[in-house]
Amino acid sequence: MQVWPGQAYPLGATYDGAGTNFAVFSETAERIELCLLHDDGSETAVELREADAFVRHAYLPGVMPGQRYGFRVHGPHEPTRGHRSNSAKLLLDPYAKAISGTIDWDEAVYGYRFGEPESRNDLDSAPHTMTSVVVNPYFDWAEDRSPRIDYHRTVIYEAHVRGLTMLHPELPEEIRGTYAALAHPAVISHLTELGVTTLELMPVHQFVHDHRLVDAGMRNYWGYNTIGFFAPHNAYASMGDRGQQVLEFKTAVRELHRAGIEVILDVVYNHTAEGSHLGPTLCFRGIDNASYYRLADDPRYYTDTTGTGNSLLMRSPHVLQMIMDSLRYWVTEMHVDGFRFDLAATLARQFHEVDRLSSFFDLVQQDPVVSQVKLIAEPWDVGEGGYQVGNFPPLWTEWNGKFRDTVRDLWRGEPATLAEFGSRLTGSSDLYQDDGRRPLASINFVTCHDGFTLRDLVSYNDKHNEANGENNRDGESHNRSWNCGAEGESEDEEVLALRERQMRNFIATLMLSQGVPMLAHGDEFGRTQQGNNNAYCQDNELAWVPWPKEGDADTERLHDFTRQMVWLRRDHPVFRRRRFFHGRPVEGTHDELSDIAWFTPEGEEMAQDDWQEAQANALVVFLNGSAISEPGDRGERIGDDSFLLMFNAWYEPLDFVVPVNHGKEWQVVVDTQRPEGVAPGSGRKVTQGDRLRLADRSMVVLQRPA
């Protein structure tokens, strides 16, 4: 076999049409072997003799796409000094563009066994672990272009590749649960009709199913257990795992783009699947443990701010390079449109504390590729000082956990929530205005993959996670949920009607709040997980979306109402402002009314004491569309587009007075006490001074005719 010196960059395996360049970083290695794996179980070892700046490299003519390979690293195995080299382990390439196979947990892949250090003479692990794959980078993207949806027009739909598609009746069985299913017209049609602009996929980086879950007959369904930051998860491919997963993922992105839908990836750069010191040696640990991981004072162990056993070392230039290379690869080669960063506070831990000016954010800010896509932070981790909502740099948007909590509290009747609810409804200026960000920095959500579904939020007071096998100890215990009078399934007509109304309240509040709304997949159908608020290991019908059957009236009504709310938001810019409200008339307009005004149910302007009243659970909000002075989507000036939002979160019906001097005539466009929610344009007319009776825990939206 010919072996040429090759190049130290780019890292990983790079096919050029005639052969493949291999390059891998390790500061601790004494010698590295590239192992080419053959279908008969044999392997050919090639020593990487060339080294530049701790990168070993070689070029092998004739090595083609589909070739499986791995590395064996010879070096010190001294856990007390943080070194864990072991040439018996066939290691994945940290830059592998595709990964083949799964782990055989019955064989020797652990770092420690029964509390003792692993032997350097463990059995050959090649047949029992995953392997890296050389991929063909060439793909017919046709005329693919990113939709580049502005934040003020964005509606995010959080979905799981398998969960969204496994039960869809119109999909061929052989593609259900795969990237190909995402590209199917039935799925794309649902998203476009719903009004979704942006599909946020739960982790599709190659991940590992934990040994404990496999032994228990379960799987790591969510996928927050990454081992390959460049490789699409191979189990989501319908055609094979020797590079076909790359082609299938690219095809899905291309087809979604053709429909005008962006693709955002939920990414996990805070830790890896190798876990704690008791976990498996699969990749980074065996290549250069101390360079990749944040080690504890005793270097046998790891500092863990993620709750997973380890944290990547965010002050290591090689870790930062890997993350940035990965992000750029997914944008430039896979054409994704942005990222949601899991436990993003860990990325800011350059040393111990969370530092909003850490090196990672500096690199993102100056990167000409990554800085131009959507960047969404989950602004917390489990470490000390990890809750950082509102504290990320101006380039970033954030999952607004305070929006979720406040909206849940309002509708379940918690006292003293009205003032904070006003802030959350209008874009959370208290969190984002001081650093120059706008309402669009707030990614608003009521539910997501982690926690109760929308139906379970109104059906359960307590979590019911027994199916996870942890005696119901896992998952959040404080859910800010309310079961509407009965725990779980119920046949009580009043309870069921209230639950349906509460779901409409949550959806309407989400869609009519300033910021960027995010729906969780299946909530438009009212899916349930039977009270399980931590379905991370439930790769089954409990967690999959149950697509409705024809004639299911309740499901169809909720789906139609959700779609109406999404389109009401998209059709009226006053619900998706680029700037915060000022509470005064806008200069340069002829309208003397303030851009926003707050009223009590009696139609009187809210006073300071009204906001502070502990039991206050009702208010009216005037949104002045004619005061919007910014240009529309196509450069035109926005005309009159004004609304009154009436919220009754009280447990009894209340009379609301339509405020005077803010519009003579109004039309009811939303009424959540009605099963269908009232379609826009079909509601009754009211005039200023009229009294409207709002049912307990309901919401009415009035539109002022232009």
CB 514 within 8 A of CB 576: yes
Which of 650, 696, 635, 645 shows the shortest CA–CA distance to 669? Answer: 645
Peptide bond between residue 10 and the one before it cis (omega within 30 degrees of 0): yes
Say how far residue 573 (Cα) sits from the centre of its chain. Answer: 25
CA distance 632 to 639: 10
CB 294 within 8 A of CB 302: yes
Give the other-Cβ count within 10 Å of 489's Cβ.
10
How far does the chain reach from its first CA to its final CA, in angstroms? 77
CA distance 135 to 112: 33
CA distance 337 to 197: 11
Calculate the alpha carbon distances from 518 to 374, 427, 447, 574, 618 in Å. Answer: 14, 14, 8, 18, 25
Which of 182, 185, 184, 218 shows the shortest CA–CA distance to 200? Answer: 182
CA distance 318 to 29: 15
CB 424 within 8 A of CB 406: yes
**Strand segments (E) across 451-543:** 516-520
Q: Which residues contact 236 (CB under 8 A, 6 or more apart)?
A: 161, 162, 177, 178, 179, 204, 245, 248, 249
CA distance 160 to 73: 36
SS3 sequence of 372-391:
HCEEEECCCCCCCCCCCCCC
SS3 state of residue 142: coil
Give the other-Cβ count within 10 Å of 394's Cβ.
11
Catalytic annotation, residues: 342, 378
Which of 242, 246, 219 shows the shortest CA–CA distance to 231? Answer: 246
SS3 state of residue 75: coil
Calculate the alpha carbon distances from 375 to 108, 225, 342, 683 in Å. Answer: 39, 21, 11, 39
Give the other-Cβ count within 10 Å of 492's Cβ.
12
